[in-house]
Amino acid sequence: MLRAILIAIGVFFSGMMLYSFGASTYAYLTDPAAPTAEEEFHLHPKEVHFSFNGPLGHYDRQQLQRGFQVFKEVCSACHSLKFVAFRDLEQLGYSEAEVKAIAKQWTIKAPDVDPKTGEPSTRDPVPADHFPKPFANNVAAAAANNNAIPPDLSLMAKARHDGPAYIHSLLTGFQSQEGFKNAKGKELLKEFPDSKTPEGLHFNPYFANLNLAMAPPLSAEGQVSYSDGTKATVDQMATDVSAFLMWTAEPKLESRKSTGMAVLFFLLIATGLAYLSYRNIWADKKH
Cβ–Cβ under 8 Å, residues 170 and 204: yes
Strands 108-113 and 211-212: unpaired
Residues 230 and 145 in one domain: yes
- pLDDT of 259 reads 93
Residues 156 and 230 in one domain: yes
- pLDDT of 249 reads 97
- pLDDT of 12 reads 80
Convert the pLDDT of each residue in 215-240 to its tens digit: 999 989 999 999 899 999 999 999 99
* Stretch (H or E) spanning 14: helix 2-30
Convert the pLDDT of each residue in 68-108 to its tens digit: 999 999 999 999 999 999 999 999 999 999 999 999 999 88
Return the CATH number at 154: 1.10.760.10
Residues 173 and 262 in one domain: no
Q: Which residues sit in the known binding site? A: 75, 78-79, 214
Confidence of residue 123 (pLDDT cuts 50, 70, 90): confident
Residues 137 and 68 in one domain: yes
Cβ–Cβ under 8 Å, residues 159 and 251: no
Mean pLDDT of the chain: 89
Distance CA 248, CA 156 (A): 9
Smallest Cα–Cα separation from 183: which of 57, 44, 81? 44
Residue 196 in any domain: the answer is yes
Residues 142 and 260 in one domain: no
The mean pLDDT value for 189-217 works out to 92
Q: Which residues sit in the known binding site for heme c? A: 75, 78-79, 214
- pLDDT of 124 reads 84
What is the identity of the amino acid at 181? K
Residue 217 in any domain: the answer is yes
Convert the pLDDT of each residue in 156-199 to its tens digit: 999 999 999 999 999 999 999 999 998 888 999 998 988 899 99
- Kindly tell me if the per-residue pLDDT of 13 is higher than 90: no
